[in-house]
């Protein structure tokens, strides 16, 4: 947003406005942040308010591997952004695929965690207040990861068929912005669910 | 005159996004997806199928390149002119409005004026006590009555007697009020458009006396019975005139109002601050 | 009739050559598939007017029911549905589409753009909003509700928990409410993103942010604002659906959940929402008042600062809707003070509009009449708002007709008045024809009288203790005379709106040809033909001040000399 000219320019000067896709993505991120804020507030408010178990202390394990995977995918996607800016399409594809793999590992990890919670600990969304808030907050984030992965995969398919070129780098960066957002939200969700709430 | 008709700056066709039905398909699909929750799962399935179709169709529109249609341009001469050629400017006479003062009195002048006014109030008040009630303590006790313990509906003789608590409280109330009003005068007088002494010295005391007169019957009817409003007004005007004169005779100092907004905010931005011409345009 | 359209040289010769006649199907196809911001803006507007008539009819039913004591015009169940649907319709299917109607049609023209930033997203957002609205109304014939088959939502437009939980609202009526509003909410998010991207990335050459017309500024702030306003509602409706469908416990007080949390979440959305709805009224007023006062808007930077200030302050005031739930005194004090803080930027706006009119040569055309009425009604609504923001006063009058009167003063007295003003003002641009001034004056005066009959008297029946939502009332409460007056006022407003509808349709076919710039205005939309071509401007305009047309009309006295 820092590209908005705030100082008066004379019409003869070059007229440059920010890329609209980036602005649109910022708008989406603002809206999504508000949604997550409401869910996070609900989670924090309801910490310890469950009338019966299981409680987070009993059943939650800190998903270290998952978190490392998801957060490092932010680095790989940054590397691929830089690659396409330098018109290095092969490197771009490699890092892009690595990002998808890391995201997929995260999803699988979440799936394993949920499987254990449901079948081993007997915690479902309707068990108690903890179940309700946990599955909706983590599930909301996981939904965003799924959507992000679908978009990333489409770009990967286009890359493999050779349709992605240097001139698409701005669009690719907009998508990467979304992925960074998903990662940043995980930091908040992780802190609230696995550190504050446990 | 019209810069939109600069020669050579237009093309014969203009690229615009082509009309498409995919957004409506996607929107309808999304709505059906949700509608299935209250009707039948099959509606959701149909909605999902429509959404996938819509999304794929939409993607194929924008990837790898956006679909455009060329619209032929009809260049017309669009005259931009008005029949109201005359421009009049509103002239605001200097001093026509109350404004934030460029110069004001120092704070000490308000205190001085308040104290002087407070001294000036005392003679008429005491005079009133002597003439009407034959006791200088009568007005003092009216003001400081709250300080005299156990007063329930005092008699006139009671009020006319000397009470040291009454004197003490009356002094505290009197001087605090005088200093506060004096400070108010110091702040207000530079903003009054003209004749500050008349406005601040006479009209303002008359106004607040009138206000007190009208509300005192409701607020404290007992006190109201004991106040002689004519004398009250005389001592208030004494205060107003003396405080006003004392304040007005002090030397003025410049306020920060004459500085630009950014400098008042403490932001040092050389080059950014420029004189904006304040004018009303019609 | 101080109004006159100014003859413009050659205006009549410039109507574009008539295109070949399209068949009905072709026309329909072109509207359904369009991605043009002007057509979408008009469709948003038509949707709003349609639902305004629907919601207005519901209001008339409510008023007939309440006109006399012990009335049984509708059943209690229907009455609940009527006021729930009236509120939901007016806020989500009239007010919100209006925001996007104005933003879509006017903003790209004012900032000299060819279209919105994301034309296809724009179409998608519109269709989501429309289908969401139709989906909501399908509940009348659709799913089973609390009272058997085919019932609309009946839990009031804020749907307080735990009434909305499965145990107390069986059937699907509440689900319709939540699902339909989630759908329109997605449309709203799309629309908001589109506005901010358009304003930031599509401005024509020379139009810096501080050279944007104030209308576009306000719509820009509104577009950004709506993103953080509508999303809490979407989030809490998702929670509600989790409770209802998956057995969650967010608002289930028997499992440790909290109904108060729903109230907080709803009003975190609900209060700023009022500002989202009223911003277009501010935007229109800022254009209409300056053009019809023939004087530049007073205090442009202060107006921009005030609109941003209102947006900021209004997100921290929500719990003034909840003084009666028993907050701590610190909580009460905070929300009292923050609410009263809104009065400062709002006051700046009102004073600046008045200062714009001061010394101007005012033309009392229909748009200006509505704008002047707006100024004073908005002021009154703000004052009753300050009264209600004082917690003890609020405890006394919460849930009474005084509150109803207060917020209808905003929603009708400010928003609807300025919507009419804006339609009279921009109708010539959108259609190329003027609306009838005579009918416009009839419309204004009838609506004005009806409005004051209804909502002024409603304050008093609130003072006398009449609670909102009651189905009927006994004759010995002393409410019946005022209620009759309120209902008569409602009918007069209904008649005025019908006159407006007739004026709209008849002017479309028989109105006076408008020319490009009938009001002698100063913003870019009047620099193209009426109606504008699909590409808006044949060549990209270049501006040097925030009144580009003034600069062209007065080359010896241009604004940019003073910037």
pLDDT of residue B150: 59
A15 touches chain C (CB under 8 A): yes
- Taking the Cβ of residue B63 and every Cβ of chain A, the question of whether any pair is shorter than 8 Å is answered with yes
Residue contact A154–B59, C-beta within 8 A: yes
Tell if the CB–CB gap between C533 and B74 is shorter than 8 Å: yes
Give yes or no for a contact between C216 and C196, defined as CB atoms under 8 angstroms apart: no
From the CA of A179, how many Å to the nearest CA of chain B? 19
> Which chains contact C through at least 3 pairs of Cβ atoms less than 8 Å apart?
A, B
Give the rounded distance of the alpha carbon of B234 from its chain centre. Answer: 33
Query: Which chain B residues touch C534 with a CB distance below 8 Å?
Result: 16, 71
Higher pLDDT, B204 or C71: C71
Give me the pLDDT at residue C181, please: 95
Q: What is the mean pLDDT of chain A?
A: 89
Query: Does the residue C490 lie in any domain?
Result: yes
CATH value of B11-72 in 2.30.30, 1.10.3470, 2.40.50, 1.10.287: 1.10.287
Q: Which chain B residue has its CA at the smallest distance from C245's CA?
A: B37
What are the angstrom distances between the C-alpha of C275 and each of B262, C53, C193, C317, C419?
30, 23, 18, 12, 15
Model confidence pLDDT, tens digit, residues A64-84? 999 999 999 999 999 999 999
- What percentage of chain A reaches a pLDDT higher than 70? 93
CB contact under 8 A, A51 and C194: no
Neighbours of C481 (CB within 10 A): 10
pLDDT at A4 over 50: no
Asked if B76 lies within 8 A of C14 by C-beta distance, the reply is yes
Is C193 part of any domain?
Answer: yes
| Count of Cβ atoms closer than 10 Å to residue C5 Cβ | 18
Q: Which residues of B touch C182 (CB under 8 A)?
A: 34
Query: What would the pLDDT profile of C74-86 be if each residue is shown by its tens digit?
Result: 988 889 999 999 9
Q: What pLDDT score does C21 carry?
A: 65
Q: State whether residue A161 sits within 8 Å of chain C by CB.
A: no
Q: What share of chain A is helix, strand, coil (3-state, %, to 5)?
A: 75, 0, 25
Q: Which residues of B touch C176 (CB under 8 A)?
A: 38
Interchain CB distance below 8 Å, A23 and C117: yes
Q: Are C19 and C50 in contact (CB under 8 A)?
A: no
| DSSP per-residue letters across A81-97 | HHHHHTT-HHHHHHHHH
Output DSSP code: residue C513: B
CB atoms within 10 A of CB A41: 17
Chain C: closest CA distance from residue A27 (Å): 5
The chains in contact with chain A, meaning 3 or more Cβ pairs closer than 8 Å, are B, C
Rg (CA), chain A: 20
Architecture in CATH for domain A20-196: Up-down Bundle (1.20)
B1 and A CB contact within 8 Å: no
Kindly list the distances between the CA atom of residue B209 and the CA atoms of B226, B229, B230, in Å, as whole numbers in the listed order: 15, 8, 10
Residues of chain B positioned with their CB less than 8 A from the CB of A158: 63-64
Average pLDDT score, chain B = 77
C225 CA: distance to closest CA in chain A (Å): 10
The interface predicted TM-score of the complex, written ipTM, equals 0.91
All CATH 1.10.287 domain ranges in chain B, comma separated: 11-72
Average pLDDT, stretch C24-48?
Answer: 92
Predicted local distance difference test score (pLDDT) of residue B124: 86
Give the structural domain span for C437.
39-561
User: Comparing C-alpha atoms, which of A198, A189, A192 is closest to residue A57?
Assistant: A198
Contacts of B63 in chain A (CB under 8 A): 158, 163
The answer to whether residue C29 is domain-embedded is no
Which stretches within C390-436 are classed as H helix? 391-397, 401-408, 417-431
Work out the mean pLDDT of chain C and round it to a whole number: 90
Q: What is the pLDDT of residues C128-162, one digit of tens each?
A: 999 999 999 998 887 665 554 457 888 889 999 88
C16 to chain B, any CB pair closer than 8 A? The answer is: yes
pLDDT value at residue B265:
64
Number of structural domains chain C divides into = 1
pLDDT of residue C23: 80
Inter-chain residue contact B64 with A154, CB threshold 8 Å: no
In terms of pLDDT, which residue wins out, C14 or C89?
A: C89
DSSP for residue C205: B
Contact state of C127 with B23 under an 8 Å Cβ cutoff:
yes
For testing contact with chain B, the best of C39, C127, C237 (most B CBs within 10 A): C127
pTM: 0.81
* Whole-number pLDDT of residue B109: 85
Q: Which tens digits make up the pLDDT trace of C410-433?
A: 999 999 999 999 999 999 999 999
Inspect the interface and report whether the beta carbons of A27 and C542 lie closer than 8 Å: no
pLDDT at B225: 76
Instruction: Select the residue of A9, A24, A38 nearest C117 (Cβ to Cβ).
Output: A24
Chain A residues near residue C201 by CB distance under 8 angstroms = 17-20, 23
pLDDT at B278: 43
Q: With an 8 Å Cβ cutoff, are A42 and C239 in contact?
A: yes
Res B223: pLDDT: 73
Beta strands B103-104 and B253-254, pairing class: antiparallel
Does the pLDDT value for residue C328 go beyond 50? yes
pLDDT band at A14; cut points 50, 70, 90? confident
- C19 found inside a domain: no
CB < 8 Å to C180, chain B = 34
Q: What is the pLDDT of residue C147?
A: 53
The one-digit pLDDT tens for each residue of chain B (282 residues) are: 333 434 444 457 888 888 899 999 999 999 999 998 888 889 999 999 999 999 999 988 887 677 788 888 877 778 887 877 778 877 766 655 555 666 778 888 888 888 998 898 888 888 888 888 788 888 888 777 766 655 666 677 777 778 787 888 888 888 998 899 888 888 877 777 667 778 777 888 888 888 888 887 777 777 777 778 888 888 888 888 888 888 878 777 776 666 666 666 665 544 444 444 444 444
- Measure A62 CA to nearest chain C CA, in Å: 24
Q: Is position C494 within any domain?
A: yes
Does the pLDDT value for residue C9 go beyond 70? no
* A90 to chain C, closest Cα gap in Å: 31
Give residue B104's pLDDT: 76
- CATH classification at residue C46: 1.20.210.10
Residue A195 has pLDDT above 60, yes or no: yes
Handedness of CA B254, B257, B260, B265 (dihedral sign): positive
Cis ω before C104 (30° cut-off from 0): no
Burial of A150 (0-12, 13-18, 19+ CB in 10 A): exposed
């Amino acid at each position: 947003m820092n590209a908005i000219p705030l100082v008066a320019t004379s019409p003869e000067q070059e007229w440059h406005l920010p890329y609209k896709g980036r602005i649109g993505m910022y708008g989406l991120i603002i809206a999504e942040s508000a949604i997550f804020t409401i869910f996070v507030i609900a989670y924090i408010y309801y910490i310890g308010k469950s009338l019966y178990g299981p409680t987070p202390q009993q059943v939650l394990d800190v998903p270290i591997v998952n978190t490392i995977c998801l957060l490092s995918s932010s680095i790989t996607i940054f590397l691929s952004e830089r690659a396409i800016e330098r018109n290095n399409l092969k490197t771009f594809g490699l890092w892009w695929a690595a990002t998808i793999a890391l995201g997929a590992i995260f999803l699988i990890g979440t799936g394993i965690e949920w499987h254990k919670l449901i079948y081993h600990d007997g915690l479902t969304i309707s068990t108690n207040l903890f179940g309700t808030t946990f599955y909706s907050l983590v599930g909301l984030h996981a939904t965003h990861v799924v959507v992000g992965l679908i978009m990333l995969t489409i770009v990967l398919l286009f890359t493999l068929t050779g349709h992605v070129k240097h001139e698409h780098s701005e669009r690719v960066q907009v998508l990467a912005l979304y992925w960074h957002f998903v990662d940043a939200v995980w930091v908040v969700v992780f802190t609230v669910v696995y550190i504050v709430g446990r | 005159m019209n810069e939109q008709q600069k020669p050579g700056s237009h093309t014969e066709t203009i690229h615009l996004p082509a009309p498409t039905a995919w957004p409506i398909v996607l929107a309808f699909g999304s709505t059906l997806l949700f509608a299935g929750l209250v009707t039948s799962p099959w509606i959701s399935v149909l909605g999902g199928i429509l959404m996938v179709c819509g999304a794929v169709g939409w993607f194929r529109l924008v990837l790898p390149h956006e679909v455009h249609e060329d619209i032929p341009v009809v260049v017309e001469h669009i005259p931009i002119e008005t029949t109201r050629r005359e421009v009049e400017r509103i002239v605001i006479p200097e001093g026509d409005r109350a404004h934030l003062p460029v110069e004001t009195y120092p704070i000490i002048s308000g205190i001085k004026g308040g104290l002087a006014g407070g001294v000036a109030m005392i003679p008429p008040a005491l005079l009133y006590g002597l003439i009407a009630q034959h006791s200088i303590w009568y007005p003092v006790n009216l003001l400081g009555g709250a300080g005299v313990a156990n007063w329930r509906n005092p008699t006139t003789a009671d009020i006319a007697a000397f009470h040291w608590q009454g004197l003490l409280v009356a002094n505290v109330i009197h001087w605090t009020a005088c200093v506060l009003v004096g400070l108010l005068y110091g702040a207000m007088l530079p903003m009054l458009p003209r004749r500050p002494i008349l406005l601040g010295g006479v009209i303002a005391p008359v106004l607040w006396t009138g206000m007190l007169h009208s509300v005192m019957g409701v607020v404290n009817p007992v006190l109201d019975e004991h106040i002689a409003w004519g004398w009250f007004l005389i001592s208030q005007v004494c205060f107003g005139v003396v405080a006003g004169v004392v304040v007005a005779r002090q030397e003025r100092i410049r306020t920060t109002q004459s500085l630009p907004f950014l400098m008042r905010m403490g932001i040092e931005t050389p080059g950014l601050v420029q004189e904006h011409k304040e004018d009303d345009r019609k | 009739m101080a109004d006159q359209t100014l003859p413009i040289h050659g205006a009549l010769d410039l109507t574009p050559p008539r295109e070949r006649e399209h068949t009905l199907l072709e026309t329909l196809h072109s509207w359904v598939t369009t991605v043009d911001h002007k057509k979408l803006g008009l469709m948003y507007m038509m949707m709003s007017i349609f639902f305004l008539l629907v919601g207005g009819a519901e209001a008339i039913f409510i008023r007939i029911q309440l006109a006399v004591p012990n009335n049984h015009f509708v059943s209690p169940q229907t009455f609940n549905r009527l006021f729930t649907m009236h509120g939901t319709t007016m806020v989500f299917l009239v007010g919100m589409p209006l925001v996007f109607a104005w933003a879509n049609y006017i903003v790209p023209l004012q900032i000299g753009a060819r279209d919105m930033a994301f034309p296809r997203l724009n179409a998608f957002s519109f269709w989501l909003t429309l289908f969401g609205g139709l989906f909501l109304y399908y509940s009348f014939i659709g799913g089973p509700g609390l009272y058997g088959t085919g019932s609309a939502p009946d839990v009031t437009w804020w749907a307080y928990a735990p009434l909305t939980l499965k145990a107390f609202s069986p059937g699907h009526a509440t689900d319709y409410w939540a699902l339909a509003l989630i759908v329109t909410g997605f449309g709203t998010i799309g629309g908001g993103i589109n506005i901010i991207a358009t304003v930031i990335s599509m401005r024509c050459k020379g139009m810096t942010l501080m050279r944007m017309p104030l209308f576009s500024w306000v719509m820009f702030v509104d577009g950004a604002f709506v993103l953080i306003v509508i999303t809490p509602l979407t989030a809490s409706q998702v929670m509600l659906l989790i409770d209802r469908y998956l057995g969650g416990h967010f608002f289930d007080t028997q499992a440790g959940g909290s109904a108060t949390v729903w109230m907080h979440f709803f009003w975190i959305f609900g209060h700023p929402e009022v500002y989202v709805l009223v911003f277009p009224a501010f935007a229109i007023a800022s254009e209409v008042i300056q053009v019809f006062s023939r004087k530049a808007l007073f205090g442009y930077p202060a107006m921009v600062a005030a609109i941003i200030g209102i947006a900021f302050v209004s997100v921290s005031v929500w719990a003034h809707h909840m003084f009666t739930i028993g907050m701590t005194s610190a909580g009460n004090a905070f929300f009292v003070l923050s609410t009263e803080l809104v009065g400062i930027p709002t006051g700046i706006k009102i004073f600046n509009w008045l200062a714009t009119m001061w010394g101007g040569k005012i033309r009392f055309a229909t748009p200006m009449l509505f704008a002047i009425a707006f100024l004073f009604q908005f002021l009154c609504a703000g004052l009753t708002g300050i009264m209600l923001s004082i917690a003890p006063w609020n405890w006394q009058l919460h849930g009474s007709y005084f509150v109803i009167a207060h917020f209808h003063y905003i929603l009708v007295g400010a928003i609807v008045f300025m919507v009419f003003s804006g339609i009279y003002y921009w109708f010539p641009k959108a259609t190329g024809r003027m609306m009838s001034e005579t009918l416009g004056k009839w419309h204004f005066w009838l609506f004005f009288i009806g409005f004051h009959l209804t909502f002024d008297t409603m304050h008093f029946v609130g003072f006398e203790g009449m609670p909102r939502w009651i189905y009927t009332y006994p004759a010995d409460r002393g409410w019946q005379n005022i209620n009759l007056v309120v209902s008569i006022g409602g009918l007069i407003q209904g008649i005025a709106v019908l006159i407006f509808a007739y004026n709209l349709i008849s002017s479309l076919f028989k109105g006076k040809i408008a020319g490009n710039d009938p009001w002698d205005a100063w913003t870019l939309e009047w620099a193209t033909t009426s109606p504008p071509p699909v590409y808006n401007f044949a060549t990209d305009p270049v501006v040097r001040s925030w009144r580009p047309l003034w600069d062209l009309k007065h080359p010896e006295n241009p604004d940019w000399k003073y910037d």
